Amino acid sequence: MDVGVDVGGTFTDFVGFRGRSVVSLKLPSTRDPAEAVNAGMREVGATGMSHGTTVATNAILERKGARIAFITTAGFEDLLTIARQNRPSLYDFRVTRPSPPVPRERCFGLHERVDARGRPLLRPTPREIQRVVRAVRDSGAESVAVSLLFSFLRPQHERAISRAFRDLPISVSHEVLAEFREYERSSTTVLDAYVKPLVTRYLAALDASLRHGFLVMRSSGSVTTDRAVVRRPIDMVLSGPAGGVAAAASIARAPGLRHLMTFDMGGTSADFSVLEDGQPAWTTEAVIDSFPLALPVVDIESVGAGGGSLAVIDPGGALRVGPESAGADPGPVAYGKGGDRVTVTDADLVGGALGPGLLGGGLPLRKELAAKAIERLAAHLRISADEAVLGVQRVVRASMAKAMRLVLARRGVDPTEQALLAFGGAGPMHAVALAREIGMRTVVVPFLPGAFSAYGVLISPVGREYSRSVVRPLDRAGPAIARAIAEFKERARSDLESQEFDPRRALMDATVDLRFRGQSYELSIPLRGDLAASFRRAHRVRYGYVSRHEPIELVTVRLAVRVPRPVRTPARPTRPSHSSGHRRVLFEDGWLDAEVVHRDSLGIAAEVDGPVILEEDHATTVVPPDARVSIRPPGLLVIEVGT
Amino acid sequence: MNPIELEVARMAFAFIAEEMGTALRRTAYSPNIKERMDASCGLFDEDGRMLVQAEHIPVHLGSMPTAVESVLREFPGTLREGDQVILNDPYRGGTHLPDVTLVRPVFVRGRILGFAANRAHHADIGGIAPGSMPADATRLEEEGIILEPQKFLDRGRERREVLDRFRRETLNPPERLGDLRAQVAANELGARRLAELASRHGVTRLRADSDALLDYAERRVRAAIQPLPRGTWTAEDFLESAHSDRDSRIRIRAEVSIGGSGFTINFAGTDRQVDGNVNAPLAVTLSASYYVVRCLTDPEAPRNAGAYRPVRVLAEEGSLVRARSPAAVAAGNVETSQRIVDVIFRALAEPLADRVPAQSQGTMNNLTIGASGRKPFSYYETIAGGEGALPFRDGMSGVHTHMTNTRNTPVEALELAYPLRVEEYRLIPSSGGGGLHPGGDGVRRSVRLLASRGTASILTERRVLPPSGLHGGADGQPGRNFLVHDGKRRRLPSKVTVPLSKGDVLILETPGGGGWGPKRTA
């Protein structure tokens, strides 16, 4: 059985299929993440694995990557420090730029130069190469990053210096990201080198238990083999939330659900992303700990709002929730592990939205402790306990609403045409109220909402993207585009074959980034038909106007390759209906008696009016008054949110 | 209003300003807005009180309300639904000419509820030098087209008179109009959102929310002022030139009081306005003053009019920091604003020793290179330098400080777009002043002209007077400007417009930041 595994900060999730019945498991994550993964794989009896993990991300955030050296064009050795010359906070002197993953004494300048047309102005001599190689070796580097100016136009100089490092892990900018903007390209290359030794070790530890290798989640919402990711670990650095988005893409095939916003709310944060016409939105402007990662990744907005987010009163007397979190230890007050500050989970518990336990009863909650903490908060604020519960919920919603509106604004998307797809432990609980606030009419809660990311990891297609900047006038760019695409396709075929996938099943999607000469940002246009006309059309849509005479410039050629994998969905539950009773729940209009039912007891086509609480193993869906829920294939809760 | 409603309202307003900024950046045309993010957006109530602002550079902080006040004054009862007023006149609501501001009234049931406004720095606005930052201008009209407040949109329709001025008098009209339309769209969005809030909550509730948020911001700033020592302190510092042909010392003096009512900053004793472009309109002086107070009190307080109630600024009309028409002002915004910050911090260096930084580079190192003729181009950017060290950390190197935070143009983007080559771009080791915490290092950026000829304008400061260290820290190294022609290197003054020929190299070395505290001896 193939299993999708998603390693999170708190839990490691496993999802697989035996026939159409789901096998799923949730284990606490371990200090060495491989331990929990290997244990879970044994427990479910898995023989194959697709794996999503944040080990690479954490290595960067915690500065636990390799001792690396950085080689760039002489005269530009401080590239990583100067960055884009801006500071992270306008007014707060306590905030400073994080130091680059490679200190200045391991940044080396190579005397060489290529100009903006790809002509060599200064070739690196063998002696010069030797000098730099010796300096790098003397520095004790475990891994090397090379990024020279305009190497995407003429890679020879980067190749010449790279050849001297056969015995060390090396990341070369024209291979990692053959695009212009030297800081972004260098940063991406440096991050790749920084995590390479660690990712190699981590994957090797998993590989030992899986004889035939396995697949690894990438930041762009596809998977690749463990062998390929060892060569390009940068591809997995922002893959944490990509599994959920990939799973959403499989749901967005259904009619009426092609325009989705994903809402993944867990213990410490909530992630949002948009799918337009079934396609996840990508960005090449991602940032990790202020370092750009300029590869195409799923465009996700994250906000520090989750079940563990803490409620605090700020110096001006306003109630704030998050981004500080109680984490797993001590966790919410209700965990009874010594936490004494109110979290969202405590408010949800006292307000009745959340039942008496988490993890299917594996983690009992102590409501009386949470209620006392709420009373203390209410006394501080001079409001009633009920108002405090609703207040915490409202404030955490407002901060999520702000992030959602930003995602929508960035994409220019109208919320009324979007459905909100809610998952993660806390997402389905807050989704309807959030949708109402934003003006969305429909909420969808998928099957396996508590392990939806692991499901996404299991079904994501195999994929890879290729790109190169070739800046020139569009009317003379035909041969250059054809050359680049032919080369990308050849590389894709050989990459796929070497990973034992069938290139004939691959879907190849070619695009070009175009702009008017003088503009600094580009629009991605599918490579077919009259490119100039398509670009002008797209420009009018995006900018509201277009110039007929301005010359158009080609900037970057791209090819995205996808080999689909089988998408399985869980069979309809066969277990008998079992209503678990009633409980009092605090809604905006006050306390109401709500029916509590198990999700699986709802039949297809049945419609149930709120207030009702739907429970399942790792999630609770709240359907407030005036909302109505029904089930539709393949096992989706569809909630019309009403007003 | 209870603490929950307060927080929800705060986020709703904050979001609208951010969304306007996102829309502006998404649809703007020029690198100046998209890449360098030299733009700001805000919402105002019907009396022109700022409700919220999202700015990317602090020099816009206090200067936007002046624009809205000017619109209120010049269009009493004559604004209609769908109008947008355009302005850049520094003496009627603007700052310097490249900063173009658009203000849109928001109507609900026929009455003005408030205003959406945004400001963006345009790469060229006409005048006697490409890039509209000439070093030797003495009168405003030499710096570009002057737009007194006038309707750009009249009930939703663009007025041809305004468009024609941009078409006739600026270097790259398609880019200008592209940016202007992005500005219009951002205001339309802001106006729609504010009207939506009003229809959801009602106008009365919206007004109550606004009042409560202004009070809240004021409370936060006052809470941060409360523990500060009371007293009055004075300091002065100097700009080093107004012109290419002579060094001078132009005095800025500030008396800063912290008392029961907050901060009072009095610029009495500052020199009169000068024959040159370093004059600052009052809006710029307000921005610099508000900036310092914000850094020293509560950097997280909402950016609305309430946050600045505890700040009083006194400046004499006709002085350098409250210039009168028709003085040139291009460098007031970018250079003088930095020195005003230096002076206020210096005054507070003793009483607020735990938080005042040593002096940062104190200049934006404005560099414009351009050419008209068969292949016209105009390249403008500001170059980072050293940050002054703080009592609790070292200064950052190669970074923009205080009143600006624009990003650089990538070397590869620059060389692909202009007939220029960057030969060197790195830090100058040890240019930051030494100390317990050393100041950040300055930057050397060398640019070679590949076209047959061109013109460069350099507007810089701190080439003579170094950024000073604090509490025993050493001064930062001053910057230097050079021109290499025919293999010979020649020193250039702080402010200059020079002709360039093919192969000439301009070298800008930016100042290092001052150090903080005496160096520990080992």
Query: Looking at the domain assignment, is residue A423 inside a domain?
Result: yes
One domain, residues A450 and A530: no
Option in A181, A320, A550 nearest B413 (CB): A181
Query: Looking at the domain assignment, is residue B489 inside a domain?
Result: yes
Return d(Cα A20, Cα A299) in angstroms, integer. Answer: 32
Of B163, B193, B218, the residue at which a domain comes to its end is B218
Cβ within 8 Å, pair B3-A550: no
**Per-residue model confidence (pLDDT) at position A544:** 65
One domain, residues A468 and A429: no
Angle (CA) A583-A587-A588 rounded to 5° is: 165
The pLDDT confidence band at residue A83, using thresholds 50, 70 and 90, is very high
Q: Which of A317, A321, A297 is nearest to A308 (CA)?
A: A321
- Tell me which chain B residues have a C-beta less than 8 angstroms from the C-beta of A547: 174
Better-predicted residue by pLDDT, B323 or A619 = B323
Better-predicted residue by pLDDT, B314 or B5 = B314
Cβ within 8 Å, pair B383-A85: yes
CB B26 within 8 A of CB A413: no
Query: Looking at the domain assignment, is residue B333 inside a domain?
Result: no
Return d(Cα A213, Cα A233) in angstroms, integer. Answer: 16
- Tell me which chain A residues have a C-beta less than 8 angstroms from the C-beta of B174: 516, 547, 550
Q: Pick the residue from chain A with its C-alpha nearest to B189.
A: A409
For testing the chain B interface, which of A86, A99, A513, A556 should be mutated: the one with the most B CBs within 10 Å?
A86
Average pLDDT, chain B: 93
A82 touches chain B (CB under 8 A): yes
Cβ within 8 Å, pair B4-A387: yes
Query: A86: distance to nearest CA of chain B, Å?
Result: 5
One domain, residues A214 and A339: no
Query: Looking at the domain assignment, is residue B276 inside a domain?
Result: no
A416 touches chain B (CB under 8 A): no
**Per-residue model confidence (pLDDT) at position A605:** 64
Cβ within 8 Å, pair B407-A86: yes
> pTM to 2 decimals?
0.92
A395 touches chain B (CB under 8 A): yes
Q: Pick the residue from chain B with its C-alpha nearest to A377.
A: B3
Option in A181, A316, A394 nearest B8 (CB): A394
**Per-residue model confidence (pLDDT) at position A76:** 98
A605 touches chain B (CB under 8 A): no
Cβ within 8 Å, pair B178-A543: yes
Option in A86, A387, A516 nearest B400 (CB): A86
**Could you please report the per-residue DSSP string of A21-54?**
EEEEEEEE--SSHHHHHHHHHHHHT-SEEEEE--
The pLDDT confidence band at residue A345, using thresholds 50, 70 and 90, is very high
pLDDT of B319 over the 80 cut = yes
Both structure tokens of B378: 């105009």
- Tell me which chain B residues have a C-beta less than 8 angstroms from the C-beta of A311: none
Average of per-residue pLDDT across B115-144: 91
Return d(Cα B221, Cα B207) in angstroms, integer. Answer: 21
Query: Domain range spanning residue A193?
Result: 47-240
CB A432 within 8 A of CB A622: yes
Strands in B159-249 per DSSP E: 231-239
Query: B55: distance to nearest CA of chain A, Å?
Result: 9
Give Dmax over CA atoms of chain A in angstroms. Answer: 82
Query: A243: distance to nearest CA of chain B, Å?
Result: 27
The three-class DSSP label of residue A580 is strand
Secondary structure, 3-state, B153-167: EECCEECHHHHHHHH
Query: B476: distance to nearest CA of chain A, Å?
Result: 18
Cβ within 8 Å, pair A520-B34: yes
Return d(Cα A300, Cα A102) in angstroms, integer. Answer: 27
**Per-residue model confidence (pLDDT) at position A17:** 93
Query: Looking at the domain assignment, is residue B202 inside a domain?
Result: yes
Query: Looking at the domain assignment, is residue A533 inside a domain?
Result: yes
> What does residue A220 show for φ and ψ, rounded to 5 degrees?
-95, 10
One domain, residues A57 and A152: yes
- Tell me which chain B residues have a C-beta less than 8 angstroms from the C-beta of A394: 4, 8
Query: A317: distance to nearest CA of chain B, Å?
Result: 6
Query: Looking at the domain assignment, is residue A570 inside a domain?
Result: no
Cβ contacts of B11 within 8 Å, gap of 6 or more: A398, A399, A401, A402
- Tell me which chain B residues have a C-beta less than 8 angstroms from the C-beta of A299: none
pLDDT of A360 over the 80 cut = no
pLDDT of A576 over the 60 cut = no
Both structure tokens of A38: 């290997």
Q: Pick the residue from chain B with its C-alpha nearest to A545.
A: B178
One domain, residues A123 and A221: yes
Of B218, B247, B278, the residue at which a domain comes to its end is B218
Cβ within 8 Å, pair A84-B443: no
The pLDDT confidence band at residue B5, using thresholds 50, 70 and 90, is confident
Query: Looking at the domain assignment, is residue B428 inside a domain?
Result: yes
List, for residues B34-56, the tens digit of each pLDDT value. Answer: 777 889 999 999 999 999 998 88
A181 touches chain B (CB under 8 A): yes
Query: Looking at the domain assignment, is residue A299 inside a domain?
Result: yes
A201 touches chain B (CB under 8 A): no
**Per-residue model confidence (pLDDT) at position A327:** 77
CB A293 within 8 A of CB A234: yes
- Residue whose entry in the numeric block shows the structure tokens 């490249």: B98
**Per-residue model confidence (pLDDT) at position A534:** 94
What's the number of domains chain B is made of?
2
**Core vs surface per residue B394-422: b (16+ CB within 10 A) or e:** bbbbbbbbbbbbbbbbbbbbbbbbbbbbb
A316 touches chain B (CB under 8 A): yes
One domain, residues A121 and A270: no
Option in B26, B217, B224 nearest A410 (CB): B26
Both structure tokens of B441: 């290092």
- Tell me which of A308-312, A598-602, B347-351 is least confident: A598-602
One domain, residues A100 and A233: yes
Average pLDDT, chain A: 91
- Residue whose entry in the numeric block shows the structure tokens 């009862």: B77
Cβ contacts of A494 within 8 Å, gap of 6 or more: none
Of B170, B193, B218, the residue at which a domain comes to its end is B218
**Core vs surface per residue A302-311: b (16+ CB within 10 A) or e:** bbbbbbbbbb
The pLDDT confidence band at residue A545, using thresholds 50, 70 and 90, is low
Of A224, A240, A256, the residue at which a domain comes to its end is A240
Query: Looking at the domain assignment, is residue B344 inside a domain?
Result: no
Cβ within 8 Å, pair B22-A313: no
A62 touches chain B (CB under 8 A): no
**Per-residue model confidence (pLDDT) at position B240:** 94
pLDDT of A251 over the 60 cut = yes
**Per-residue model confidence (pLDDT) at position A417:** 86
A633 touches chain B (CB under 8 A): no
Share of chain B above pLDDT 70, in %: 100
Option in B14, B219, B412 nearest A181 (CB): B412
Query: Looking at the domain assignment, is residue A572 inside a domain?
Result: no
List, for residues A183-201, the tens digit of each pLDDT value. Answer: 999 999 999 999 999 999 9
Option in B27, B57, B299 nearest A544 (CB): B27
A497 touches chain B (CB under 8 A): no
One domain, residues A270 and A408: yes
**Per-residue model confidence (pLDDT) at position B520:** 79
Cβ within 8 Å, pair B299-A92: yes
Say what angle helices A385-411 and A367-381 make with each other, to 10 degrees.
90
Cβ within 8 Å, pair A87-B443: no
One domain, residues A220 and A284: no
Cβ within 8 Å, pair B11-A183: no
The pLDDT confidence band at residue B86, using thresholds 50, 70 and 90, is very high
List, for residues A3-40, the tens digit of each pLDDT value. Answer: 999 998 778 899 999 988 889 998 888 888 888 999 99
List, for residues B260-283, the tens digit of each pLDDT value. Answer: 889 999 999 999 999 999 999 999
**Per-residue model confidence (pLDDT) at position A359:** 58
The pLDDT confidence band at residue B1, using thresholds 50, 70 and 90, is confident
- Give me the amino acid identity at B444: R
Cβ within 8 Å, pair A87-B387: yes
Q: Which of B388, B274, B302 is nearest to B338 (CA)?
A: B388
CB A178 within 8 A of CB A148: no
pLDDT of A309 over the 70 cut = yes
Query: Tell me, what DSSP letter sits at residue B272?
Result: B
pLDDT of A130 over the 80 cut = yes
One domain, residues A144 and A65: yes
CB B317 within 8 A of CB B356: no
Query: Looking at the domain assignment, is residue A172 inside a domain?
Result: yes
Option in B7, B355, B384 nearest A85 (CB): B384
Average of per-residue pLDDT across A111-124: 97
CATH code of the domain covering residue A500: 3.30.1490
The pLDDT confidence band at residue A343, using thresholds 50, 70 and 90, is very high
A407 touches chain B (CB under 8 A): no
Cβ contacts of B246 within 8 Å, gap of 6 or more: none
Q: Pick the residue from chain A with its C-alpha nearest to B58.
A: A90
One domain, residues A448 and A504: no
Average of per-residue pLDDT across A124-142: 97
For testing the chain A interface, which of B425, B428, B507, B516 should be mutated: the one with the most A CBs within 10 Å?
B425
Cβ within 8 Å, pair A398-B11: yes
A387 touches chain B (CB under 8 A): yes
Q: Pick the residue from chain A with its C-alpha nearest to B388.
A: A93
Query: Looking at the domain assignment, is residue A615 inside a domain?
Result: yes
pLDDT of A577 over the 60 cut = no
One domain, residues A436 and A374: yes
Query: Looking at the domain assignment, is residue B501 inside a domain?
Result: yes
Both structure tokens of A416: 């009324």
**Per-residue model confidence (pLDDT) at position B421:** 98
For testing the chain B interface, which of A324, A513, A520 should be mutated: the one with the most B CBs within 10 Å?
A520
Query: Looking at the domain assignment, is residue B197 inside a domain?
Result: yes
How many CB atoms within 10 Å of residue B501? 12
**Could you please report the per-residue DSSP string of A331-376?**
-SGGGTSS--S-BHHHHHHHTTSS-SEEGGGTEE--HHHHHHHHHH
What's the number of domains chain A is made of?
5
Cβ within 8 Å, pair B425-A318: no
Cβ within 8 Å, pair A76-B411: yes
Average of per-residue pLDDT across B489-502: 95
Query: Domain range spanning residue B192?
Result: 3-218
List, for residues B169-179, the tens digit of each pLDDT value. Answer: 988 888 888 88
Query: Looking at the domain assignment, is residue A574 inside a domain?
Result: no
